Structure 1
Amino acid sequence: MENIQTKDHIKPRKGRGRLIWRFLKGSKALFILCMTCSALVSLGEMIVPQIIRITIDNIIGGASTENLAPVVQNMITSLGGAEALRGRMWIMALAVLVVAGICAVARYLFRVSDVKASERLVKNMRDTLFGHIERLPFQWHMSNHTGDIIQRCTSDIETTRNFISEQMTNLIRIGILLVMSMSFMFSMNSSLTLIAMAPLPVIIWYSLFFHRKFRKGFEECDENEGKLSAMAQENLTGVRVVRAFGRERYERDRFEKHNEYYTSLWVKLGRLMSFFWSSSDILSGIQIMLVVIFGVLFCLRGSMTSGEYIAFISYNGMLVWPVRQLGRMLSEMSKAGVGIDRIGYIMDAEEEKDPEGALTPPMDGDICFDHVTFAYEGSKEMLHDVNFTIPAGTTLGILGGTGSGKSTLMYLLDRLYPLPADCGKITIGGTDISKIALEHLRGNIGIVLQEPYLFSRTLRDNLGIAVRDLGDKELEAAVQAACLDETIQSFTKGYDTFVGERGVTLSGGQKQRAAIARMLTRPTPIMIFDDSLSAVDTETDAKIRTALEKRFGSATIILISHRITTLSKADQVLVLDHGKVSQLGTPEELSGQDGLYRRIMEIQGYSAEPETKEKESAADLKEVTAE
């Protein structure tokens, strides 16, 4: 099986930006509002230190207002001038409160819009991913671990959401803080500003250096989280097998070993991040210390006023925060980049598509396999030059050893696997199935797979999954045809019996009959039973075949089985041997020929009176049970 983790390093073909932009559908306006509110908060934070500086230098200190911006001078004049404001200091305090109030409202709107936008983003991502995965080819699903796909659709989505809602929305705020704080600082004292900026290139280089290390660490952690999820999913799904073979300790040790390795990766990454943040704190502390020391010296020399010094310290704090936030953004970007790439791998997978001008022809014609050759990706040839025709309305039995290609024939007929153009063709009523619309093709082919799958729902929900608004009469008729009616009547809750995950509460035979009943709720012109009677007794097998003959005599039926009694009433039987047609004929003809059919017939002790033998076997079984 191809491992999904091998493609983690591949960037999405559509690009991360375009992928995120697609997921932002329906939440863009909210994110814009979020960024606008963030910008208002930044502007308010810029204004408060200036109000404090003017209050200390111009109102209390009596310094001239000529060095202030014209807009500020006009505001002071309209309020009666600096002398009048000195006696009414409450006005300056009120100005600070008004700005703080605006910032508080902006912060509230920022949080509300951020939460709404991020939740809509997550919903859109989940809906888009789930819808896309549902339309991916069966071959893709068989090549990728279910647990890892789930991890990508949960953990990686959450990582992407956190980055966009917590980091991306602060971009404008960080930009405003950087530009405005540096411009205000330069306007107050250019020398001290240069001193304040000296450590910044080192901090930025330091952050970029660790960005690459973080990405590698997050990628490794995500890969192993996917493996751990896949391991847990497989064990939970196969819990009966694990317990039946007494493998609990082995599986637990195996899980704990990988979990310990996964934990060690996060501990290692945590140490790296701790070193990065502590080093960043030291560099930031040195920068603040330099500003405080040199700022005091400039004040003592008279090249800075007290108000300018206080404002400068405030702006320096604002300058340090976005620089440090930039480092956090880079580390989070590393993590989000890995998550987006992993999601992009799923989104880049090609969906099943109908050919241009897809046809919807009648599906009750002859089925023809015309020189079909097929091999699974990375495997040896499974079918070789298979050539046969199933006349409409007849029953074909297929017999063959394990791995002979019986199920593969049906997968190709239902286009669960596409048949390459140069490997023959399959036609229904003379129409190549590659030209038929998928929904039409699969809507007219009923198939019961070799391993019946029941959902964790009630029996009614499972049986009616193929038909919307299924009536009680249609449901009961399908259940009777599948010989499941007595089983359902024995359940206390009848059709409302909860079957558990994968139908765990039912026996193998009950699950097979439930799967058959589910398929029969939607009568189709083509019906496939892929070894779906193997878990039922021979008497029930005969009853189901008789019911099928009565109700669906005009349908084309394909029976795959290892049981000769199941194939005995078929119009013709196809025998496969290592992917090739070794025999084809009626059961009577094959029983008189040397070959696999006759050998299996002799091994199973099949006689010319199979129905009598089945009844005798059933009677013997009852006697043994009674004893």
Structure 2
Amino acid sequence: MEVLKRLLKMLIPYRFVVMGSFMSALLVMVLNIAVPQLIRIVIDRVIMLEELHLLQFVTSGIIAIALFKALFTFLQRYSIDYASQRIIYDLRNNLYSHLQYLSFSYYNRMPTGQLMSRATSDVETLRRFLDFGIIHFLQGIITIIGVLSIMFYMNAFLAAVSLAILPFLTITIYQFGKKVKPAYTDIQKQLASLTSVLQENLSGIRLVQAFTQENRERDKFFSKNKDLFDRNIFAVRLWSFYFPYMNFISGLGTALIFWLGGRAVILGQLQLGELVAFNSYLLLLVMPLRMLGWVISLIQRSISSGERIFEILDSEPEVKDYPGALDLGKVEGHVEFRNVNFSYDGEKEVLKNISFTAEPGDFVAIVGSTGSGKSTLVEMISRFYDPDEGKILLDGYDLRDITLNSLRSNIGMVFQDTFLFSASLAENIAYGTPGASREEIMEAAKGAQIHDFIESLPEGYDTEIGERGLGLSGGQKQRIAIARALLFNPAILILDDFTANVDYKTEFLIRRALKNLIRGKTVFLIAQRLSSLKNADRILVMEDGRIVEKGTHKELLLARGLYAEIYKMQCGEEPTAS
């Protein structure tokens, strides 16, 4: 019920619009109740008593009712639609904004497909609830109260008889609601799982086809889709059983009214028009009761979707600004790790007692085997994660005492797996500097050795590239990323093994572009090819989350430790200090 309360609270900013819809629904109910009375007059007085002068009055009344009913139905629908669309508009914006600030650790736990399903399918379910569910629920309650009042006023005995079916209908509706919620919860979960499989497959389609795993991926999708089909069929069975059953109960009530009412008409205790009107009211009573079954189903689905959406909105970023955090502006680039320990799960440590200092303008290289903690170390400089123990300092300030915006605006990153958006080349280069002029973008591209290639394209810098930069080579994407970092012009630059997937010629072009990029900056470079580290001011050698060696290229070769062993394996010769 807490989720339902939160959903209803969304209506508060639009309460006057919702009240307008509610009042329109009330007027529609009044007009619906008036129609059977006009039918009663036609039968009992116009037909039976031949009071033809009333025919014009009744006809005019029906036309007026139809006209005003159309008007108020429009106002009812438009106002509630407007409110629901505004609420969903705000919810989508809030959800998307919240996702932008959640920590890396959250995305490590949550599959992308699950998030996509919640942001689309679950939000749409809430829209249907706010749009159709609420107004039909309120309209149904209003109609039930109004119709019962008229029925008791007309004939208390027949009204009491008609109420005999209500306990059976109520029990049926309760049983339906009790079974349908877990059914739709399973459907939403399975749909999210199916979306995850689809998203992963489309992202990795090149790998799938490269290893001829199309059939395997197809079978995986078919299996997930079959599970979703089975869950939907189970929900359909619930609908298929309970709704005809409710119709059967309603039919019993109608039969009972006609049996008792027909006898009363024959015995002269009830007029024919009253019986017809009474039966019309019974139909008006049964319809909202049957609609409540559909509304309850929608409410249960909305609660399931709401739980999944609020789980995201209630997730607090593990890394966030602390009260009183400082905005440093432009920094010098002095970085220090003091006895830093870190683990992703609180158990297995990924970084162990890390301590080192990088002075402004230093070129610090980080080497080590896969899984030694290199990428985690550099990610902590941007405070994507906070250390479990120890501290990381920037210009003497603990990173946790600096605003995230201030910190990250001083750090540029070039990743091994370069990500480019579906946008123009100019927009991708200027991603970190949206206000950059075309001249500044071109200067950055020239520094990254990518300007000539861009100019050779028919549309130049306005060339649209595909998702993730499809259509460009690995080296071209890397140089665009370098141009992006050049334009951003940070005090600290992090290069995460960004030449690992390119050939030597491309690497040469990238490293030539890199000379322009690193000038005057504190640089952290993760590298596998040790031959490129001869000019590093300091090299950190990592193994099993620890820094096992520190020094320059020459010093580490002379030490004949792990670094020298790696160098020998890569170069095929005994390491020398030359």
Range into which the TM-score falls when normalised by the shorter chain: over 0.9
Task: Specify whether residues 59 and 473 from structure 1 end up closer, same or farther in structure 2 by C-alpha distance, changes over 3 A only.
Answer: closer
CA distance in 1, matches of 2:385, 2:347: 14
Q: CA separation in 2, counterparts of 1:565 and 1:490?
A: 33
- Which deviates more from structure 2 when the two are superposed, residues 467-476 or residues 545-554? 545-554
Paired residue secondary structure (1:396): strand
Give the aligned residue type for 2:374: K
2:538 is equivalent to residue 568 of structure 1: no
- Determine if contact 2:493/2:518 at 8 Å carries over to the other structure: no
Alignment of 1:176-195 (within 5 A): 176-195=142-161
Deviation at 1:536, TM superposition (A): 3.4
Residue 162 of structure 2 is matched in structure 1 by 196
Q: Quick check: 438-447 or 127-136, which moved more?
A: 127-136
Cα deviation for residue 451 of structure 1 reads 1.8
1:463 aligns with 2:429: yes
For 1:18 and 1:457, how far apart are their aligned partners in 2? Answer: 38
Q: 1:385 aligns with which of 311, 333, 353?
A: 353
Over the matched positions of the two proteins, sequence identity in percent amounts to 34
| CA apart distance, 1:232 | 0.6
What is the rounded CA distance, in whole Å, between the counterparts of 1:166 and 1:455 in structure 2? 37
* 2:263 paired residue among 280, 285, 297: 297
2:19 to 19, 32, 49: 32
Q: Residues 241 and 27 (structure 1 numbering): CA distance in 2 closer, same or farther, change over 3 Å?
A: farther
Letter in 2 for 1:107: T
Of 174-183 and 470-479, the range deviating more from structure 2: 470-479
CA contact (8 A) 1:542 1:566 kept: no
Q: Per the alignment, do residues 484 and 298 of structure 1 end up closer, same or farther by CA in structure 2, a change over 3 Å counting?
A: same
* Partner of residue 94 from structure 1, selected from 48, 51, 60: 60
Q: Deviations over 1:191-234 (max 9, x none)?
A: 21111111111111111112121111111111111111110111
Q: 1:25 to 1:103 in 2, by over 3 A?
A: same
Q: Is the 8 A contact 1:43 1:176 kept in 2?
A: no
- The CA deviation at 1:307 is 2.8
Structure 2 CA distance for aligned equivalents of residues 304 and 513 of structure 1: 91
- Decide whether the 8 Å contact of 1:129 with 1:347 is kept in 2: yes
Give 2:372's aligned amino acid: S
Structure 2 counterpart of 1:377, which letter? D
Deviation at 1:550, TM superposition (A): 4.8
CA–CA distance in structure 2, aligned partners of residues 89 and 532 of structure 1: 87
| Native 8 Å contact 2:495 2:526 kept in 1 | yes
The answer (yes or no) to whether the contact 1:137–1:416 under 8 Å persists in 2 is: yes
Counterpart AA for 1:399: V
User: Do the aligned partners of 2:3 and 2:303 also contact (CA within 8 Å) in 1?
Assistant: no
Q: 1:370: how far off?
A: 0.3
Alignment-derived partner of residue 147 in structure 1? 113
Normalising by structure 2, report the TM-score: 0.94
1:279-358 matched pairs, under 5 angstroms: 279-351=245-317, 353-358=320-325
Q: Does 1:600 align with 2:566?
A: yes
Question: What TM-score do the two structures reach when normalised by structure 1?
Answer: 0.87
1:410 corresponds to: 378
- Superposed, 1:417-436 pairs within 5 Å as 417-420=385-388, 423-436=389-402
Contact 1:483 1:540 in 2 (8 A): no
Aligned CA-pair RMSD = 2.4
Amino acid corresponding to residue 512 of structure 1 in structure 2: Q
Determine the C-alpha separation between the residues in 2 that align with 1:583 and 1:126: 49
Question: For residue 49 of structure 1, what is the aligned residue in structure 2?
Answer: 36
In the TM superposition, 1:18-29 aligns within 5 A as 18-22=6-10, 24=11, 27-29=14-16
1:108–1:329 distance in 2 versus 1, CA, 3 Å: same
- The correspondence for 1:242, drawn from 208, 213, 227, is 208
Shift of 1:155: 1.1
Residue of structure 1 in register with 2:344 after alignment:
376
Summarize the Cα distance change of 1:546–1:221 in structure 2 as closer, same or farther, 3 Å threshold: same
Structure 1 unaligned residues grouped into runs of 5+: 1-10, 63-82, 613-627
- What is the aligned residue count? 575
Structure 2 residues not aligned, in runs of 5+:
none
Q: CA deviation at 1:120?
A: 2.4
| 1:61 Cα deviation from its structure 2 partner | 6.3
Q: Is the 8 A contact 1:181 1:319 kept in 2?
A: yes
Residue identity in the other structure for 2:567: M
Q: Give me the whole-angstrom Cα distance separating, in 2, the residues matched to 1:327 and 1:536.
A: 61
- Does the aligned pair in 2 maintain the 1:16–1:341 contact within 8 Å? no
Q: What displacement does 1:385 show?
A: 0.5
Change (3 A) 1:560 1:606: farther
Shift of 1:473: 3.0
Contact 1:450–1:531 (CA under 8 A) maintained in structure 2: yes
Q: 2:190 maps to what in 1? A: 224
Counterpart CA distance in 2 for 1:218 and 1:314 is 35
> How many Å apart are 1:506 and its aligned residue?
1.7
* 1:551–1:502 CA distance, 2 compared to 1 (3 A): closer
Cα distance in structure 2, aligned partners of 1:512 and 1:45: 69
Q: Deviations over 1:146-200 (max 9, x none)?
A: 1111111111111111122112112332122111211111122222111111111
Quick one: which of 415, 419, 422 aligns to 1:453?
A: 419
SS state at 1:167 partner: helix
Aligned counterparts of 1:604 and 1:287: Cα–Cα separation in 2:
88
Partner of 1:585: 551
